[in-house]
Amino acid sequence: MKYYFLAILLFFPFYHAYAWTLNPNTQKGFKNNEIKIFIANTTCSGAGFSTSRYVDLIKNAVEDYWNKVPTSALFLKVEGIKDDIDITGDTHSSALNKVPANTIVAGCNASATDFDDSSILGSAAMQCSGSTCRAILILNAHSSSKLPQKSDREIEAVIAHEIGHAFGLGHSEYQQSLMYYNTSGKYQKWLGDDDIDGVTYLYPHESKFDLLGQSLLGNCGAIAATDNLQQQSFFDYYSSLALGVVFVFFIYFIRRKLKG
């Protein structure tokens, strides 16, 4: 009997509690793994840097975080400043209307409506209709913004966090994750396991192991997003336990047949 108990325990490594969530507004990602990022032709002086410097900060954020995940096919391509896009004074919804289909636009804004709290360093909004998605990333360039007090590395982490929202991720409950829900006073130097799990789910590599035409890793929007983090953990736990029990009975049946 001890061998059967051991067999159940062997299934526990497959149990994994996911704390990442999808963007609650879209619950999916972009249709393509390569996503272009344009920078709006708006001033970022209130944030403490020039628009051209903003391009460099975004490039660093992309390369240091999201473009180096080996288990994900996501590739963010920073295209530079797009002269015909100006989001000065725009709300997130009006700025989204200026974003080309299936791209992300990053900009700065001094809007007191969007950034009425100086501790809000940035924000992002994503919108999808059918297979077409677009997203806007805006940094706080209000006169009271705390971004000028931050180092370049801290700003890059803020940008990387907002880019995560822009391509489809929600918040994580794990403090060691870049997508942790509270970034105030926290500088995340690298992606956590939870961030990697999330981006891998949204943008997986082509799997060689397909089941009934569906990748084992799933695909964009294949499951409903939920902020009830314990629900997913509960399901994973008892699924693993059930598999262990089935395996034990299988071994028991085989041993009975061999003895017979």
Residue 217 lies in a domain: no
Q: 34-40 and 103-109 as β-strands: parallel, antiparallel, unpaired?
A: parallel
* CB distance 140 to 109 below 8 Å: yes
Which has more confidence, 5 or 50?
Answer: 50
Backbone angles phi, psi at 198, to 5 degrees: -65, -50
Q: SS3 letters for the chain?
A: CHHHHHHHHCCHHHCCCCCCCECCCCCCCCCCCEEEEEEECCCCHHHCCCHHHHHHHHHHHHHHCHHHCCCECCEEEEEEEECCCCCCCCCHHHHHCCCCCCEEEEEEECCCCCCCCCCCCEEEEEEEECCEEEEEEEEECCCCCCHHHCCHHHHHHHHHHHHHHHCCECCECCCCCCCECCCCCCCCCCCCHHHHHHHHHHCECCCCCEECCEECCCCCCCCCCCCCHHHHHHHHHHHHHHHHHHHHHHHHHHHHHHHC
For residues 252 and 164, state if they share a domain.
Answer: no
Give me the pLDDT at residue 116, please: 76
| pLDDT tens digits for range 68-90 | 999 999 999 999 999 999 999 89
- Whether the per-residue pLDDT at 7 is higher than 50: the answer is no
Residue 207 lies in a domain: no
- Whether the per-residue pLDDT at 193 is higher than 50: the answer is yes
Residue 244 lies in a domain: yes
Write out the two tokens for 97: 């209307």
- Whether the per-residue pLDDT at 24 is higher than 60: the answer is no
Residue 72 lies in a domain: yes
Long-range contacts of 205-214 (CB under 8 A, 24+ apart): 205/71, 205/72, 205/73, 206/73
For residues 237 and 184, state if they share a domain.
Answer: no
Q: Please count the structural domains in the chain.
A: 2
State the Cα–Cα distance between residues 66 and 30, nearest whole angstrom.
Answer: 15
Of the pLDDT bands very low, low, confident and very high (cuts 50, 70, 90), residue 248 is low
Domain ranges, residue 240: 231-259
Q: 214-215 and 132-140 as β-strands: parallel, antiparallel, unpaired?
A: unpaired
Residue 213 lies in a domain: no
Which CATH number fits the domain that encloses residue 73?
A: 3.40.390.10
- Whether the per-residue pLDDT at 6 is higher than 80: the answer is no
For residues 241 and 151, state if they share a domain.
Answer: no
For residue 80, list its beta bridge partners: 38
- Whether the per-residue pLDDT at 112 is higher than 80: the answer is no
Question: What average pLDDT is seen over the chain?
Answer: 77
